């Protein structure tokens, strides 16, 4: 422990920053895509005519019973096969994260909408609002408030999960650190640094979510 060498980290910073950019990019894209997919799935589960609710539920339950690494492998294998040519690790990893997180976002959104008391919808309709207007002005605003903190917390988990692109060899933050650690023979410094960076970012983000929750909360 005495020969802890900060210089190694300093010299590797530009390379690590490139890795962090990829991590942030995957997180942002998979979050956007995942929330879109999740919204579509939640709507299918709640309001679509059969067989769509069953199909959406089947999709969500299947994805939620699988480990993320297996999903990453699935799409790493499937995407080039469907496209008919090699596409590289980035698109298939991005699709894998979007499809996987979509299942989790779906459940959060569905729970948020279902959590709004049934009486609210009935009361809104009784005052003369149409079903869509009642949804738009009464149910969804309340549901949205309830689910935003949970969606953000899930996105922090997504940010941590992106480290799994390691298994398909994409140079995200962790993999970049692994490359440097292997090259310089400095495992302790690099992994300690990675852990501290993730810790600081995640604790800061979850404090932010907690404050938001206090301001937003009922």
Partner 1 sequence: MNYNWNWGLLFVEPYFGFLLGGLRTTILIALAAWVIAFVFGSLVGIARTVPLAPLRLAAATYVELFRGVPLLVQMFLWFFVFPEIVPRDWGRWLKRDLPDPEFWTAVVALGFYTACRVAEQVRAGIQSISAGLRDAALASGLTLPRTYRYVLLPLSYRLLIPVFTSEFLSIFKNSSLALTIGVAELTAQSRQIESFTFHGFEAFTAATVLYAAITLTVIFLMRVLEARMRIPGMLGGRADR
The nearer residue to partner 1, 72 or 135, going by C-beta atoms, is: 72
Q: Does 174 bind partner 1 (CB under 8 A)?
A: yes
Query: Minimal distance in Å, beta carbon 195 to partner 1?
Result: 5
Q: Tell me which residue of 162, 140, 142, 120 sits closest to 20, measured CA to CA.
A: 162
The nearer residue to partner 1, 133 or 195, going by C-beta atoms, is: 195
The only residue of 77, 131, 137, 216 in contact with partner 1, by rule CB under 8 A: 77
The only residue of 14, 49, 84, 86 in contact with partner 1, by rule CB under 8 A: 84
The nearer residue to partner 1, 77 or 137, going by C-beta atoms, is: 77
The nearer residue to partner 1, 101 or 161, going by C-beta atoms, is: 161
Q: Does 62 bind partner 1 (CB under 8 A)?
A: yes
Q: Does 166 bind partner 1 (CB under 8 A)?
A: yes
Ordered DSSP codes for 163-177: GGGGGGT---HHHHH
The nearer residue to partner 1, 91 or 129, going by C-beta atoms, is: 91
Element (H, E) at 202: helix 187-216
Rounded alpha-carbon distances, angstroms, from residue 158 to 8, 28, 81, 120? 29, 9, 26, 33
13-21, 32-40, 122-130, 197-205 -> range binding partner 1 (CB under 8 A): 197-205
User: Cis peptide leading into 51, omega within 30 of 0?
Assistant: yes
- What is the spatial distance between Cα 93 and Cα 78, in angstroms, rounded to a whole number? 11
- What is the spatial distance between Cα 215 and Cα 218, in angstroms, rounded to a whole number? 8
Q: Does 55 bind partner 1 (CB under 8 A)?
A: no
- What is the spatial distance between Cα 97 and Cα 26, in angstroms, rounded to a whole number? 8
11-19, 38-46, 76-84, 134-142 -> range binding partner 1 (CB under 8 A): 76-84
Number of H helices, E strands in the chain: 9, 0
- What is the spatial distance between Cα 16 and Cα 23, in angstroms, rounded to a whole number? 10
User: Contact residues for partner 1 (CB under 8 A)?
Assistant: 1, 62, 65-70, 73-74, 77-78, 81-82, 84, 160-161, 163-164, 166-167, 174, 178, 181, 187-188, 191-192, 194-195, 198-200, 202-203, 206
């Amino acid at each position: 422990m005495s020969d802890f060498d900060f210089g190694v980290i300093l010299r590797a910073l530009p390379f690590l920053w490139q890795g962090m950019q990829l991590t942030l990019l995957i997180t942002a894209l998979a979050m956007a895509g995942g929330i879109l997919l999740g919204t579509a799935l939640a709507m299918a589960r709640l309001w679509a005519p059969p067989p769509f609710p069953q199909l959406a539920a089947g999709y969500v339950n299947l994805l939620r019973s699988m480990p993320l690494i297996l999903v990453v492998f699935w799409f790493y294998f499937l995407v080039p096969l469907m496209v008919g040519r090699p596409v590289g690790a980035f698109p298939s990893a991005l699709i894998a994260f979007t499809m996987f997180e979509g299942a989790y976002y779906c459940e959060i959104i569905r729970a948020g909408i279902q959590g709004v008391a049934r009486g609210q919808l009935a009361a809104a309709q009784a005052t003369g609002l149409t079903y869509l207007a009642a949804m738009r002005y009464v149910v969804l605003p309340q549901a949205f408030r309830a689910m935003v903190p949970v969606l953000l917390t899930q996105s922090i988990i997504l940010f941590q999960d992106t480290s799994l692109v390691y298994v398909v060899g994409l140079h995200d933050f962790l993999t970049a650190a692994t490359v440097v650690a292997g090259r310089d023979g400095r495992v302790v410094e690099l992994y300690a640094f990675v852990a501290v960076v993730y810790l600081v970012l995640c604790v800061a983000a979850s404090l932010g979510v907690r404050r938001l929750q206090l301001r937003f909360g009922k």
